Structure 1
């Protein structure tokens, strides 16, 4: 197995059957999404439209509804009211089979990596291909040689080809997140949803991971919706910034022309609202 090489080019990332389309095509179209957990309203009538190949950042305090919105868009959370269409597939009211089909085209990058620690980095990346395979797979050798070369190519792309046969749980946090990015690329998604992908990393590694994630997505013209806390990273990489506060959308503007002070209003107004609230 260790003789695997990366001399075979990786084919462009495009979901099976996905037409080239236009940058003006809406890839995500959400209308009036409301989501409640008991007495808590996590989302309140949120509208969001994202065009093909856009890099959109969701900003807001913890509890503002960012993660809930991502999970509504891929069907992990149901919506109380409203509707959403992702890649032409309605999410609201979709059957389990329809959602599983949609998720093969929508990559999800988690804050806590969600790798299988006891498996090698290579096998973790290969897991990203399961949505386009029939039947279970047990071990690296249960995948074709072509897929193993492909997975190694993605590890090489994130700078970790030399860690292919190392257990995932022996890597640093930044390295694990890079393996998770390679796994997402192996999935061949058209859309990437990233939920606080650098929240558990130190500033240096956070910058490295964000640079890598967004450079790859730009090169492959993927559509990205990424939640963040770091305003500076959002301004550096986002083409649009959407701000949520108390479950409502309070900002939706192109990054060009926005200043850090403009974006910080999302957070400052929370402090003002709290200070002015009656005792």
Structure 2
């Protein structure tokens, strides 16, 4: 249930229904004959609370797309809206405000090894604090208490005062998730969050992301390579090839072999009828 549904007399807005709306978004790097088209008229919607896996070969545009959703890169043409912010016209201050509402989990955990687990999680609140923080106890007590709560949610409260570099890879990624949750985000982006983890740790992290997203009704866009993980984790799969959306399907009722065609049919024409499953999805 959204916040809008809890307020008597308040009608649901478009932002309550659609968290991400991408319309003909194109991104080119360079100019002239040497220009590289990283995204080519990409269009899709993600409904509020929906969990979407972004699949595609390396170089297909997944990371570039995530950076646009987060307002870190500006489109060459086209655009869309994220939580009501227009990606093509937003000023720098608007984009900074948008990023405070979006959590980001990276392939490399980006923890500070020498800091405790708890202080690493506290850094997730820096966007809402003034001035630098040097040491755990320079963070306000409510921030430290919130960080402990986030660590408890990811099952690592007992490790709060250990150095981050004493944890396993899977544990470090769970700390990174806790840090992202310190922003109290509306959207959670994850860029290959389990690429550097073993299968057991990968499963634990993806189950955690799914549970956190469901409990907090987060909208999630997660780039992955593992088809089986995507099918068990996501509500929907959006597939990219050479910067274009060539697959957009619900994970309900689709099999692994159908999704694997995204990787195998590299030379296929994405415009050919029936070339790949493309049922559409998300909120309209």
Q: What TM-score does the superposition give when structure 1 sets the normalisation length?
A: 0.87
Contact 2:29 2:38 in 1 (8 A): yes
Aligned partner of 2:180 in structure 1 is 184
Asked if 1:35 is matched to 2:27, the reply is: yes
1:174 Cα deviation from its structure 2 partner: 0.8
Unaligned runs of 5+ in 2: 4-9, 270-284
SS of 2:265's partner is helix
SS of 2:54's partner is strand
Unaligned runs of 5+ in 1: 1-12, 274-279
Aligned partner of 1:4 in structure 2 is none
1:78 Cα deviation from its structure 2 partner: 1.7
Structure 1 residues 136-145 or 27-36, which shifts more? 136-145
The match for 2:224 among 214, 228, 252 is 228
* Aligned-partner Cα distance in 2 for 1:207–1:264: 20
CA shift digits 1:220-241 (9 cap, x unpaired)? 1000000000000100011010
CA shift digits 1:231-267 (9 cap, x unpaired)? 0010001101000011100010111111101101111
* Aligned-partner Cα distance in 2 for 1:272–1:21: 42
The match for 1:102 among 98, 101, 106 is 98
SS of 2:120's partner is helix
Structure 1 residues 221-230 or 264-273, which shifts more? 264-273
The match for 2:121 among 91, 113, 125 is 125
* Aligned-partner Cα distance in 1 for 2:88–2:132: 29
Structure 1 residues 263-272 or 196-205, which shifts more? 263-272
Asked if 1:93 is matched to 2:89, the reply is: yes
Asked if 1:67 is matched to 2:59, the reply is: no
The match for 2:211 among 206, 209, 215 is 215
* Aligned-partner Cα distance in 2 for 1:146–1:72: 32
Contact 1:74 1:91 in 2 (8 A): no
* Aligned-partner Cα distance in 1 for 2:11–2:56: 33
Asked if 1:115 is matched to 2:111, the reply is: yes
* Aligned-partner Cα distance in 2 for 1:48–1:141: 44
Structure 1 residues 32-41 or 194-203, which shifts more? 32-41
1:135 Cα deviation from its structure 2 partner: 2.6
* Aligned-partner Cα distance in 2 for 1:221–1:205: 24
1:271 Cα deviation from its structure 2 partner: 5.5
Structure 1 residues 165-174 or 63-72, which shifts more? 165-174
* Aligned-partner Cα distance in 2 for 1:73–1:92: 11
* Aligned-partner Cα distance in 1 for 2:89–2:162: 42
Number of residue pairs matched by the alignment: 257
1:30 Cα deviation from its structure 2 partner: 0.7
Pick closer, same or farther for the CA change 1:140–1:20 going to 2, 3 Å: farther
Aligned partner of 1:167 in structure 2 is 163
